[in-house]
Structure 1
Amino acid sequence: MRQRRREFPRAVAAKRATHRTTLDVVTVLTISIVYRSCAIPVAWHGVGATTPGAWRPHWEPLITILQQAIPPAWTAIVAADRGFYGHWLFQWMTSASQKRGRSL
């Protein structure tokens, strides 16, 4: 028991977030397809976590490739977290659905 009490402060210090900053190296932009309640990544792109700039140039090629792979008869549902918003994305989805003869 004494040994555990001596090691406890070191264990707590090791769990602090200060040593975790090295994990913030890459941000992975991912597009997944949900099949039977499981998200399967089908397109992704890694971007430096601290690289300044817009996300749009990274998302557009992923979306374009996926758009070409989805059959016209399929329905696509877009879900994103609150940090992912772009007026350009809404415009792109609207124009893509109109080209396929559908409405949002």
Structure 2
Amino acid sequence: MNCTFDVTVTEYPYRAVIAVADELDLDSCPYVTEATDALPLRGQTLVIDLSAVTFMDSMGLSMLLRLRRRAENESGTLELCGIGEQVARVLELSEARPLFTCVPCP
């Protein structure tokens, strides 16, 4: 895995922000999943900050879809922020873009 990959978790009273830096792929997704699994989502908003993501493949998309399902199952919400051109293209090509709420980064 590239040594510039980073996951940062910032918790607030009613939301958590997960900032991901570098590539979101087969090697890095388990680290993001580990970070998000530790967070209770019951009624909370989970914001995934993708502004520093340089590349996302189908594994990254799959992870985001699993997070969306988990948030819904736990009466929470998932929001994406900082979507760059490459990530937007993956969401559009996969026709998954309408499934996600995109917001400005906090």
TM-score bucket (shorter structure): 0.3 to 0.5
Higher Rg: 1
Higher helix share: 1
TM-score norm. by structure 1 comes to 0.43
Higher strand share: 2
